Structure 1
């Protein structure tokens, strides 16, 4: 398996299909009001960087970094197609997000994920994220689990 991960525009038909698959997977696990999707158009806005994982040219996974301020970034749109799950692709995408956030000088990464996503929790926790209360403007919801990770600038100031 040769997988490449690179920054790409989400405004490609194949990426739109990948994101539609992600949205369907999320809506199968959580009510619509508890799904906080970014559209591919929002993913293409300034301040958002999108990584696409490909095997033999086919898009098989994605993840994004959304910058909210000079200090805080958010991990968004993490997904690996089911047939490639369990192979470390999400972990590799997340490492690219963390590396970029640190290079950008962000102090903290945060994220919201669903209450029925234990595989995602494991990826985040292995990467040093810790559970916390609601982040950004997300409501406190029984369907959400929140995580945060202090990055180099914040941890070196402590």
Structure 2
């Protein structure tokens, strides 16, 4: 990373994060209009103290966060990189930052869910050590979901 990229640890109340999440939701509903009713409840933005926003030339361009899944694991949520800056390695940077943060807080595992059409995301997660596992709650029985896990 060069000096034009800044990584900020923040909360879900950060207006830049809120705007990036709105762009993420818009892109998901455009790509998966048939799934909106099944997944909307899993994407409610609750107060979260474990958020990362990435700035490029001081413009917010990417984000991610995690929440506690159980006593040993966190769940990666709301990963998004603006289309105009994809391919720069920002998603991997966010993922590694979130995993390190969770590890520092005492967590041993990370889980996540993505959708089957998210080929780039699935490839990124596998490249960084995630393996596909049986769907966990609340994704059990949802055939469009791909659930993954990694020791951190």
Structure 1 counterpart of 2:77:
76
Q: How many residues align?
A: 146
Q: Distance in 1 between matches of 2:117 and 2:86?
A: 16
Cross-structure match for 1:29: 31
- Separation in structure 2 between the aligned mates of residue 97 and residue 14 of structure 1, nearest angstrom: 18
How many Å separate the matches in 2 of 1:16 and 1:101?
21
Shift of 1:122: 1.3
Q: Give unpaired runs (5+ residues) of structure 2.
A: none
Residue by residue over 1:5-63, the C-alpha shift from the partner in whole angstroms, topping out at 9 and shown as x without a partner, is 12123323332221100001111222111353131xx1x34xx4000000121110000
Q: CA deviation at 1:129?
A: 0.4
Partner of 1:19, secondary structure, is: helix
* Structure-2-length-normalised TM-score: 0.88
Aligned-pair CA distance for 1:118: 0.7
Counterpart of 1:38 (choices 23, 38, 44) is: 44
Question: Could you tell me which residue of structure 1 aligns to residue 11 of structure 2?
Answer: 9
Q: Distance in 1 between matches of 2:21 and 2:105?
A: 26
CA drift of 1:103 comes to 1.4
TM-score (norm 1): 0.85
Please name the residue that 2:115 is paired with.
114
Structure 2 Cα separation of the partners of residues 81 and 28 of structure 1: 15
Q: Deviations over 1:123-155 (max 9, x none)?
A: 11111000011124322212111100123xxxx
Gaps of 5+ in 1: 152-158
